[in-house]
Structure 1
């Protein structure tokens, strides 16, 4: 396998911990070739200036988070800027108490590019963009590249930064441009605090306008009402730098479904509708947003997306689709569980990665992997509760036991397997619902 040691360690440690690895997911992908091919086509369309929204729907443990991480890997190779964030009780699309801008801050913290796939790439992107402005300014004004960074040209560079920002932004461009100019000033004068304050503003971390005005001389801060405009500004900035587009993955939509007051929940669904319309009506370009949630989140008529009629009409499944005949072009993609053959292939891959990571060779044959699977799938409740996550974790835990205790009886280990219901209680809703 063409796998890097860092990827192998990330895969093994993350999966044992029950979470999806941030890097290397392409090495453990099985049974998703149709979905991947559809995504490559969709990314091509977004690269050509279109925008798109997809909803990845599946049961708990069916691979939704895995799919989003896989999309990251595919998009990074296609030269997209990508970002991931989870909805939580404190991160929402719509809010009037800071939960919207908290989601924005999580997105900005997790920005990734191919050279920084694990996130934290915003400063790298800003400096890369500024370097492009510097080079163009030097060329346009016949100034040597060795001299253009001199402080006497600071105003010239800042004017070009503002000019370029004005060309690519619509809402909030003046403050956005002012902050980027301040970032450049800190970059040239080596004033770390100025750069840090500019980054703080761009990431939506200023709480008051007064504080932002004192530190940066700007009138506004990024807040619950304007953060989406700022995401669109960043999308345009990334495209102007030569990137294909901006892909944002939003997981754990169950936390929107769990919002206790119907009015606030509806406002969040209204925001989804607004983003959906922007993307499909061509009001924004090169933006790709993915949502992930369970079937209940999508279809529950009382509190799911379908409780909001305008979303229901847009997200209803193609009525001609069946389990065998799929339509991956529609906005909603339902993830079917992996079959036993696919899980077998996945476990074989994991054994190979495990051996590579620990520089060992675990003595476990294909027949023994089959035996492990039979023990697991024949357990009471397996058909209802068993998820790929639990299969993977049990398998890796057994490999760890064998690695550290080579003489252990494998069939005894397999016999100790139990299946438990790991699904979250989606009925455990906070607060009392308002009518």
Structure 2
């Protein structure tokens, strides 16, 4: 078996393992994607524009079960394949958009690349290594360690100032991190990383040593985001993609916090439009209420004007700021199930397609949707977990007959139901 075959089988195993757990796989999403070719094309074109120096955003709009989180994960996968660093942030009461410092902190904590799951430190290190390499290329290998250090420190500040009109505090903290590592003061280096990542409890000794005050707050969070993008670019990546999931939770904030969150969003859009956040792509997901509800975006007319849709003549325009997703239907779920069978076959051996037939798949979908008010759109997660269980049992037991053995009973599953799944479940007395 070749290395590419090994990688393909490993990816297939990872996909099946994720489906068993009821989660979105970390990779290989193109193998499960059905009916989102247009959406993928739009996002891919935007990624190309951002890679060339633009800044852009997209709001993915859809009901629960429309596949927003899947499309978001697929967009992240596409971005990493194109050389972007990415960060997936769930907007919540702990990380509301009214507190930009918290959002910035989660971006840093969740920063990933194609090769690194926790990428914040590796990105900073790669940025500094690239600067050292440029200094050595210019000055030659005869340069002393002290000269290399001094020239690298000067280059850090020049690079940030040139790339992002950078804040002096960010550059000072990066410089302090570099010098602490050079001095083998790893506690100070860790404090510098924590401060750069927005951690609130970094000690006074670091701040005194670096010459910075306090912590990253609301007034500088967006400036620091631009600096972070500059560092990511300097580390060899084409830009940063930020996925902000479940933005509809903003509606649950107090009126003052909601207004602040929406004003922050408007400010972010204006930065993109003015070209002040180049090489950055923002993806938001939200239910229709975020865009249409009384506590949603339309409550702030200047923001609604920026991201509202034009007309509704029955022809969907995915190029507008809002990309509306249709609900998942039975036909799409059948296609996904057939793809899962192929993935399962690569992971664990050929599937008995006489026992687990296309006709059985349709019957299984009908059985599950019957327990959820006929709503196909709320069951994909549950269905795929149940379907993989059927495939497992068919592989393990030659006598297993899914037609007679399979029965969906939510009381017998230990996987918690989401609020949406519980809301439409049909209770049997």
Contact 1:60 1:423 in 2 (8 A): no
Residue by residue, what CA displacement relative to the aligned partner does 1:235-272 show, whole Å, maximum 9, x if unpaired? 1232344432211000011321211x111111101111
Partner of 2:378: 386
Q: Does residue 348 of the first structure (1) align with residue 348 of the second (2)? A: no
**Partner of residue 221 from structure 1, selected from 209, 215, 218:** 215
Partner of 2:111: 111
> In the TM superposition, what is the alpha-carbon distance from 1:424 to its structure 2 partner?
4.3
Q: In structure 1, what is the Cα distance between the partners aligned to 2:348 and 2:40?
A: 30
Partner of 1:326: 316
Partner of 2:97: 93
SS of 2:241 mapped into structure 1:
strand
Residue by residue, what CA displacement relative to the aligned partner does 1:283-330 show, whole Å, maximum 9, x if unpaired? 3212111111111122112x11222222222332231452xx321110
Distance of aligned partners of 1:405 and 1:257 in 2 relative to their CA distance in 1, 3 Å threshold: farther
Distance of aligned partners of 1:221 and 1:320 in 2 relative to their CA distance in 1, 3 Å threshold: same
Contact 1:94 1:224 in 2 (8 A): no
1:3-152 correspondence to structure 2 within 5 Å: 4-95=8-99, 100-116=100-116, 119-141=117-139, 143-144=140-141, 150-152=145-147
Contact 1:385 1:422 in 2 (8 A): no
Partner of 1:153: 148
Q: In structure 2, what is the Cα distance between the partners aligned to 1:92 and 1:379?
A: 35
SS of 1:248 mapped into structure 2:
strand
Partner of 1:410: 402
SS of 1:124 mapped into structure 2:
helix
* Higher share of residues assigned helix: 2
Q: In structure 1, what is the Cα distance between the partners aligned to 2:400 and 2:349?
A: 19
Q: In structure 2, what is the Cα distance between the partners aligned to 1:219 and 1:422?
A: 43
Contact 1:61 1:388 in 2 (8 A): yes
SS of 2:111 mapped into structure 1:
coil
Q: Does residue 267 of the first structure (1) align with residue 260 of the second (2)? A: yes
SS of 2:63 mapped into structure 1:
coil
Residue by residue, what CA displacement relative to the aligned partner does 1:3-27 show, whole Å, maximum 9, x if unpaired? 6344334323333333322222222
Contact 1:197 1:215 in 2 (8 A): no
Q: Does residue 163 of the first structure (1) align with residue 158 of the second (2)? A: yes
Partner of 1:258: 252
Backbone CA RMSD of aligned residues: 2.8
Distance of aligned partners of 1:11 and 1:285 in 2 relative to their CA distance in 1, 3 Å threshold: same
Distance of aligned partners of 1:232 and 1:160 in 2 relative to their CA distance in 1, 3 Å threshold: same
Q: Point out where structure 1 has 5 or more consecutive residues left out of the alignment.
A: 428-435
Contact 1:107 1:248 in 2 (8 A): yes
Partner of 1:192: 186
Q: In structure 1, what is the Cα distance between the partners aligned to 2:136 and 2:417?
A: 63
Report the count of equivalent residues. Answer: 413
Distance of aligned partners of 1:45 and 1:149 in 2 relative to their CA distance in 1, 3 Å threshold: farther
Q: In structure 2, what is the Cα distance between the partners aligned to 1:229 and 1:235?
A: 10
Residue by residue, what CA displacement relative to the aligned partner does 1:320-367 show, whole Å, maximum 9, x if unpaired? 452xx3211100011112333321121111122234334564552223
> In the TM superposition, what is the alpha-carbon distance from 1:401 to its structure 2 partner?
3.9
| TM-score, L = length of structure 2 | 0.87
Residue by residue, what CA displacement relative to the aligned partner does 1:124-148 show, whole Å, maximum 9, x if unpaired? 222221121112112222x31xx65
Q: In structure 1, what is the Cα distance between the partners aligned to 2:299 and 2:87?
A: 28
**Partner of residue 314 from structure 1, selected from 302, 306, 312:** 306
Q: In structure 2, what is the Cα distance between the partners aligned to 1:148 and 1:122?
A: 29
| TM-score, L = length of structure 1 | 0.86
Distance of aligned partners of 1:401 and 1:210 in 2 relative to their CA distance in 1, 3 Å threshold: same
> In the TM superposition, what is the alpha-carbon distance from 1:68 to its structure 2 partner?
0.8
